[in-house]
Chain A
Amino acid sequence: MAKVLMKGNEAIAEASIRAGGLYYFGYPITPQNEVAEYLSRRMPEVGGTFLQVESEVAVSNMLYGAAGAGVRCWTTSSSPGISLMMEALSYIAAAELPCVIVNIMRTGPGLGGILPSQGDYRQAVKGGGHGDYRSIVYAPASLQEAVELMPLAFDRADRYRTPVLVLGDGMIGQMMEPVEFREHEFPPLPPKDWATDGCKGRKPNVVNSLYLDPVKEEELNRKLVAKYEEIARKEMKSDEYGTDKPYRVLLVAYGTTARICRTAIARLAEEGIGVALFRPITLFPFPAARLKELSRPAEFLLSVEMSTGQMVEDIELAVRCRKPVHFYGRQGGLVPTPEEVVDEVKRLLAGAKGGAA
């Protein structure tokens, strides 16, 4: 299939339809409105369901209902809307239901602004809702990667019966790049024999997250932990740039920030400064083992984010604090420029020479 130039939000919408995500519930919020606008026209063409509803609270609970009935459902929103979904997300994780939630992040806290941000890293990666649960979190850095990750997200949601989050920033939602929709093949999925789709010929199914018996509740918690451990073993994804050449500094960044780092690395290379990039594609599970390996030759690591440094603690954990981990970020919708990253690397290198890490 030929490439088409699409806005990120529309590309995500189309990729999801092609992945069989035919049930979409949503509520308007900038900067991801193009998803719903696109789907409101497109879903009728493909026999899918598009519904604009009263709130993100309702959206996420509709996902619970629809996922519980066994259909592939999903939504998109942006930071404040995602916060409203945290209640249902916890229930969805506990009831082991599959669904995909895309967060085109905007700035915060509070109502924040509508410009790009990566301020929801912790909310996505550490849980977000109440209780002991995790979600698989994918972070695309380009629109092509976003359209590749959507089918994977749906597959993994079904395979592990877990919510999957896709974290993009406002730029991923708003920019246009050429995308190509390829066919994706996955191994067969287990049947959804747990779904509440009518009890004809079988015992009733119950989709539930209530466990008044502490022993049963602990069993659920342990079952979930075992699932997250399996996900951590099998599902880590990362990318790297410049690690095939000698490097003194390892940048760590995800999403569009990682692209900014690549430009910075090219500029620094022109000046003879070897810098490499590690880009987590899954933020949970965090690809710690590979990062640890790559950190060895580096004098220090630098996390570049559109937040106040939410990923730093995961990087420090990954390298077991054996290397200094610095942070450079912009907030409020200001995007770090390659020039800023170049300057920060040089500043830190100069400081390191002086003996201070």
Chain B
Amino acid sequence: MQAEVVFAGFGGQGVMLAGKLLAETGMVLGKEVVWLPSYGPEMRGGTANCTVIVGDEPIASPIVRNPRDVAVMNRPSLDKFCPLMRPVGVAVVNKSLITVDPDRDDITVVNVPANQIAIEAGTGRAANMVMLGAYVGATDIVPFEALVEQVKHQFVKKAKLIPVNVKCLEEGYRLGQKKRA
């Protein structure tokens, strides 16, 4: 099994971190992982994205033209990446900022008001955690508990941020699971 997911959004929305946490969780579980960023001027306030590959076999190409899944946090990312998805993939869509729906009927769409949920949980900056939770909820690509552990580990030096981030993960995960059911 190999799954590829593109996390995409504006620079500053935390898509790079969301991807890294997924990759790290996979690594801790003994899976093969690659995290490949867009880099350079793209990172400076424009759109940012990273591709995460999680698999059971050593990963050959780190470049993926047609990812299985996407998690898009803004409209330009939806327009850019949803058309590239392979059929039957999962698209997690941030409905707080994206008003349209992906123009495809061969994928599973998980609509998540990520910013709204994050603001209600205490900080809009954790919208990326809602997206990440929803993605894992919809795919079970890694066990949710392992993801939570990784997020706790990430914020170990800023422990006061852990509750709000975990809360956002859980909210997202719940929405993702609901879509699965």
Contact = CB atoms under 8 A, between A and B. Distances in A.
Contacts of B24: 5
Contacts of B37: 174-175
Given A5-B20, A259-B61, A337-B63, A175 B27 contact: no
A31 B38 CA distance: 11
| Most interface-central of A114, A178, A259, A338 (chain B CB within 10 A) | A178
Q: By DSSP majority rule, is chain B's interface helix, strand, loop, or mixed?
A: mixed
B35 A5 contact: yes
B18 interface: no
Contacts, number: 64
Interface in B48-92: 59-63, 65-66
Interface in B11-44: 20, 23-24, 27, 32-37, 39-41
B51 to A, nearest CB: 9
A179 to B, nearest CB: 10
Nearest to B36: A175
Q: How big is chain B's contact interface, by range?
A: 20 to 34
B23 A176 contact: yes
Given A5-B24, A115-B40, A176 B34 contact: yes
Contact of A266 (B36, B40, B60, B63): B60
Interface in A255-297: 256, 259-260, 262-264, 266
A114 B38 CA distance: 11
A263 B27 contact: no
Interface of A: 3, 5, 30-31, 114-115, 170-171, 174-178, 256, 259-260, 262-264, 266, 335, 337-339
24 contacts: A3-B27, A5-B24, A5-B35, A30-B39, A31-B40, A114-B41, A170-B39, A174-B37, A174-B39, A176-B20, A176-B34, A177-B33, A178-B27, A256-B61, A259-B59, A259-B60, A259-B61, A259-B62, A260-B60, A263-B61, A337-B61, A337-B65, A338-B65, A339-B65
